[in-house]
Amino acid sequence: MLLSFTKSLTNMFRIPELRRKIIITLLLLSVFRIGIYVTIPGINGERLAHVLEEAAEREGGGDSPLGRAFAIVNMFSGGALGKCGLFALGIMPYISASIIFQLLTTVVPFLEELSKEGEAGRKKINQYTRYATVVLCLVWGYTTANWILGLKYQDMSIVTNPGAGFIIKAVITLTTGTIFLMWLGEQIDEYGIGSGISLIIMAGIVSRMPVAMMQMVQTRFRLVIRPPEGEHGLIMLALLIAMYVAVVIAVIVIQQGQRQITIQPAKQTRGRRVYGGQKHYMPLRVNHAGVIPIIFAQSLLMFPGMLIEAAAGKWAPQDYPYWGNFLRLLSEQLQMGAFGYILIYVALIFFFCFFWTAVAFNPVKMAEDWKQYGHFVPGIRPGKRTAEYLEKLMTRITLAGAAFLAAVAIIPQLAYKHLDLPWQMASIYGGTGLLIVVGVALDVVQKIESHLLMRHYDGFIKGYTMKGRR
């Protein structure tokens, strides 16, 4: 297996077209990584260097809703938010706008008609998505600029000249940075390999993993069998590595998991010849919703937590015994890793899994289309019975996918609370980051393998072909 994999890596660079695509992709991703270290104009670099450590603690800090919001945005921006960089907003505004328009396409008749117009309609929707991205950038950029103004070193702002001028410059810079990342992603789509936007997110997440591992080893581990009390040794480190490998394998298996439905076209007799009647299969992915339910659940839990935390600080228990104690209890239950937080988090993931699947998968329309073209599921009547069968089947598949997403989502919290790991390290054991990295990596490997097979080379594993993500 290892020999076949090494041979495939060598074959990748023997194909001129594939070699060019890989090199262009790596160069464009390098531009993204360099841009992270370009700070917003008007920031004092020396003062920023002093507050980066405090900002990192807030990121891995995790327990507060504000700390979680900082950690999520900083993860998607590849650490640019913590460095007050040009790409501090990352590609999140574009992703949010894309998700919003994908949902609106199913409920707004005008957008639904545009989506049916083929390539011209999709271009129009993409144009609206870009406009929405600019609006979101302006709003998020204003919020980020005010957050930067609040960063201080020895009671001095890290901004050289704080005021409205800096906010305007910061908003324009951050908006330009996100628009540039959109353009960068489109160039990767056209000239590189893989999905550009997904690769940019993946590059940001992967770049932070080595730093997190080094920090964990330096601060929490001793490379001995029997470490001092309160620290971990080689045995614990080996167990954590084995646990990470097991989680990654489980994610790959579920991400690739499919339920195939047999579809039988009706036979047609023309003269003495019979056409059609050959069975084919339609795959239904186990994790049909992807990472969207986790993103929605995290976002929905952040804002109530922030409001309750602020109210609990204002309504102190000594001044308002009833409301103060009640708000403090709510605030504690909404801390990461608390029973109440995990319960609500899991419930939201299940809800958004079924909601997103219901939006993206329409069994009634699919059954009508099959009936119109003369296709049917063996043993199931066309029309209403087929729609009921597809709905029942998809409900069961979604239940399994939601349970998988919920398990992957709470693993980092359990590792953070019960294994005494820094949050930055615990987060690589699951959640949005791991799902994105594994999903994008599988997509890129599948596209590279298709190039190899097309040129009569073996795939990455001899005798096995990667299944597509869609």
> Tens digits of per-residue pLDDT, 115-152?
878 788 888 888 999 999 999 999 888 888 887 887 77
Per-residue pLDDT at 61 exceeds 60:
no
Name, in order, each residue with C-beta under 8 angstroms of 44's C-beta and a sequence gap of 6 or more. Answer: 158, 159, 160
With bands split at pLDDT 50, 70 and 90, how would you rate the model's confidence at 294? confident
Query: How high is the pLDDT of residue 28?
Result: 92
Per-residue pLDDT at 329 exceeds 50:
yes
Per-residue pLDDT at 324 exceeds 80:
no
Mean pLDDT of 181-189: 91
Mean pLDDT of 64-87: 71
Better-predicted residue by pLDDT, 407 or 360? 407
Mean pLDDT of 310-322: 63
With bands split at pLDDT 50, 70 and 90, how would you rate the model's confidence at 156? confident
3-state secondary structure of 223: coil
Per-residue pLDDT at 198 exceeds 80:
yes
Better-predicted residue by pLDDT, 431 or 368? 368
With bands split at pLDDT 50, 70 and 90, how would you rate the model's confidence at 27? very high
Do 398 and 349 meet the contact criterion of CB atoms below 8 Å apart? no
Query: How high is the pLDDT of residue 131?
Result: 92
With bands split at pLDDT 50, 70 and 90, how would you rate the model's confidence at 240? confident
Per-residue pLDDT at 82 exceeds 90:
no
Do 110 and 100 meet the contact criterion of CB atoms below 8 Å apart? no
Percent residues over pLDDT 90 in the chain = 9
Do 392 and 332 meet the contact criterion of CB atoms below 8 Å apart? no
Average pLDDT over all residues of the chain:
78
Q: pLDDT tens for residues 246-293? A: 888 888 888 888 888 888 877 766 666 666 667 778 888 888 878 888
Placement of tokens 């499919």 in the chain: 258
Query: How high is the pLDDT of residue 24?
Result: 92
Name, in order, each residue with C-beta under 8 angstroms of 380's C-beta and a sequence gap of 6 or more. Answer: 386, 389
The DSSP secondary-structure symbol of 467 reads P
Mean pLDDT of 46-50: 70
Beta bridge partners of 461: 464
Q: Which of 60-69, 95-104, 325-334, 349-358 has the lowest mean pLDDT?
A: 60-69
Query: Residue 334: what are its φ and ψ, rounded to 5°?
Result: -95, 10
Query: How high is the pLDDT of residue 172?
Result: 93
**What tokens were used for 307?**
């409001």
Mean pLDDT of 22-39: 89
Distance between CA atoms of 235 and 220, rounded to whole angstroms?
Answer: 13
Helical packing angle, 234-256 and 384-418, nearest 10°: 170
Query: How high is the pLDDT of residue 466?
Result: 57
Per-residue pLDDT at 397 exceeds 50:
yes
CA distances from 129 to 86, 102, 190 (A): 22, 10, 19
The DSSP secondary-structure symbol of 461 reads B
Query: How high is the pLDDT of residue 59?
Result: 45
Per-residue pLDDT at 469 exceeds 50:
no
Query: How high is the pLDDT of residue 306?
Result: 64
Q: Would you tell me how many other CB atoms lie within 10 Å of the CB of residue 227?
A: 17
Query: How high is the pLDDT of residue 470?
Result: 41
Better-predicted residue by pLDDT, 455 or 376? 376
